[in-house]
Amino acid sequence: MAYTTIDNPELYFQTKLYTGNGSTQAITLDGDEDMQPDFVWSKPRVSGGHFLSDSIRGGTKVLQAAETNAEITRGSHIQSFDTDGYTLAGDGTTNNSGDATVSWNWKAGTAFSNDASATGIGTIDSSGSVNETAGFSIVSYTGTGSAATIKHGLSTTPNMMIIKNRVTDSKDWQVYSPVNDSTDALALNQTDATGDSDVYWNDTAPTSSVFSVKSGATNTSGAATIGYIFSNRQGYSKFGSYTGNGNANGTFVYTGFKPAMVICKKSSASGTNWGIIDNKRANSFNQISAMLNPNSNGSEGANNNCDFVSNGFKWKTSDGNSNDSATYIYMAFAESPFVNSNGVPTNAR
């Protein structure tokens, strides 16, 4: 059996750096293979919001990771999702003239629709886009306000879910991780620890066909809701936990690939930020230090040193956002598998 089914992760995930021009601009991804993204998460590296758009809602429909706000329409945001990237207009949020900006881009690509009463799968109708190879789907549904199940489009059990009510202000982003109990949720826009409540997931773990909701931010009656659903794929993506050691010779986390991007959050205690590091906002060699915080619209910081190695990542800091003596959840996507399907190992940075 091959170590990985994905030899080139850039077919499914890419990070892109660009400078805003305040006008129409085609953002061309840099990978060796063209990739048409379905989910684009953009952030100016200076002060400014995290803006999330996808091909299901349409590129002009924007949600903000650090905010509880409902979805907004920006006619000058993403005009089209292209075969090798996407096109922006004169948007002062992610295309402000002169602003260094980063976007993280995922491919789904295969449409699905589920009439729950007709198929017997779930109890709420859902639709979206899925990529089974990459273990990623985008799911759209309308909440009912009572316990329900929703088809997520994958054939494997999700390992991470990020859900947002699109229409109601003051509703947190909710994140599910199996590292936590199925009653727990983390808010992407908060510094809180995991919260013990059956409100969001109905005290029920997802299955290979559906995920469960009850009420609150994941199932508000009548509210259009979007979900980003992820499942582990060996050699390409990993969603799990690690225990920090609280010193500068930090914890090593095995992923089975050389990372391109890592998102982390202390889950066992409150008061620390979510963090994103990647292989593009860095030198071509270790250490990586440039971190952005999904729960903050602040500028990029440089106090969370990390090495991306051929089979995982190793912290070189005792900072509380990444390597305190505590439990953290993480999600990681690959630059290259540790060993490809031909048995060839990857190189370190």
Q: What is the DSSP string of 320-334?
A: TTT-SSSEEEEEEEE
Is residue 256 within 8 Å of 233, Cβ to Cβ?
A: no
Name 54's Cβ contacts closer than 8 Å, sequence gap at least 6: 38, 39, 40, 138, 226, 228
206 with 176: CB under 8 angstroms? yes
- Averaged pLDDT, 266-288: 93
pLDDT digits (tens, 9 = 90+) for 56-88: 999 999 999 999 999 999 988 999 999 999 999
Scan for tokens 């956002």, then name that residue: 321
Q: Which two tokens stand for residue 194?
A: 């995991």
Q: What's the pTM value of the predicted model, to 2 decimals?
A: 0.97
Asked if 49 contacts 67 with a C-beta cutoff of 8 angstroms, the reply is yes
User: Percentage of the chain surpassing pLDDT 90?
Assistant: 87
Give the separation between CA 3 and CA 11, rounded to whole angstroms.
Answer: 18
DSSP secondary structure string for all residues of 206-247: --SSEEEE-SGGGS-TT-EEEEEEE--BTTTEEEEEEE--SS
Q: How confident is the model at residue 129 (pLDDT cuts 50, 70, 90)?
A: very high
pLDDT category of residue 2 using cuts at 50, 70 and 90: low
Asked whether residue 1 carries a pLDDT value surpassing 50, the answer given is no
pLDDT value at 271 more than 80:
yes
Cβ atoms of 328 and 194 closer than 8 Å: no
pLDDT category at 347 given cuts 50, 70, 90 is confident
The predicted-structure confidence for 9-24, as pLDDT tens digits, reads as follows 999 999 999 999 999 9
